[in-house]
Amino acid sequence: MVPVALLPRQVIPRSVQPASARPRVSELYLRELSSNSNGGIPHEAGHSGNDRGQRGVAARRLRDKEVRRQADRSDHRKGCRSGKAGAEHAETVGEYEPKISAAAEKADSADARAGDALGRADAASKKTDQVKSDLTNQFHSELNERIANIDDYKPAGDVVVLFKFNSAQLTDDAKQQLDQLGKVGTMKRYFVAIEGFTDKTGTPEYNLALSRRRAEAVQTYLVAQRNMPVYRIQIVGLGKEKPVNDEKTRDDRQKNRRVEVTIFSADSGQGAAAQNPGSAQ
């Protein structure tokens, strides 16, 4: 029986082998190193320690070179993928850049409009403050003028109208007395004071309310019939206060059931004697 090791080996030419089945040179060399029974050292290279060290260094260098080549291929593939991703990112940025620029322009325009609005609001606020200040100064000026001229008002005429017992209705004679006050239309600065009174008959509370109603009756007649401005009239009810006599007789009590109307004017030339149509006293 012939040993297997002595049988002739069938060699297939490299040209016949497919390219994927052809081993690389580095693989052949590494295979030879690993299969050699002399520690990976070819027989024909000798057995010295120096040669073995050199061959080991050469083998390690070859392995390192193969490892670096594989790493370079991997880095190249990664670089290609990274370059593609960078190109896609640049394309995306270029696509959205006009939109970003338009949004930025709109934001700038909105900021400008907001600034203009704030400026107008500030100007309006300043104008409002100025108007308030002017009105306040004008009011104070007019008030001070009126206070300063209050002593200029002098009595310019008076009328006394009488009422029946426990009544606030104007009589025909009372209306005739009030009609004479129509001459105040020629005055420019004046006011009318109306004071209502009663006799001492009855309770103070009732007399106070009755005197107030009598004064209001005179005021209503002057405003409605004589067109006198209501803001120029001041009324008050005093009840049985300030009697004109001691009321010992019926006639005395009748004279106290009265309303006194006095005109005060600050016009020059007006005085107590300027208009005194008489009274019912």
Global confidence as pTM: 0.45
The type of residue at 180 is: Q
Q: Is the pLDDT of residue 142 over 80?
A: no
Distance CA 137, CA 141 (A): 6
pLDDT tens, position by position, 205-257: 999 999 999 999 999 999 998 888 899 999 999 999 999 998 889 999 999 99
Q: What is the pLDDT of residues 143-178, one digit of tens each?
A: 666 555 667 788 888 999 999 999 999 999 999 989
Task: Answer whether residue 273 shows pLDDT above 50.
Answer: no
Q: Say what percent of the chain tops pLDDT 70.
A: 62
Question: At 212, is the secondary structure helix, strand, or coil?
Answer: helix
> Is the four-CA dihedral 220, 231, 225, 254 of positive or negative sign?
positive
User: Which structure tokens are listed for 40?
Assistant: 């990976």
For residue 21, name the pLDDT band (cuts at 50, 70, 90): low
Q: Report domain 153-265's class.
A: alpha beta
Would the pLDDT of 102 be above 70? yes
User: Which DSSP helix (H) or strand (E) runs through 260?
Assistant: strand 258-265
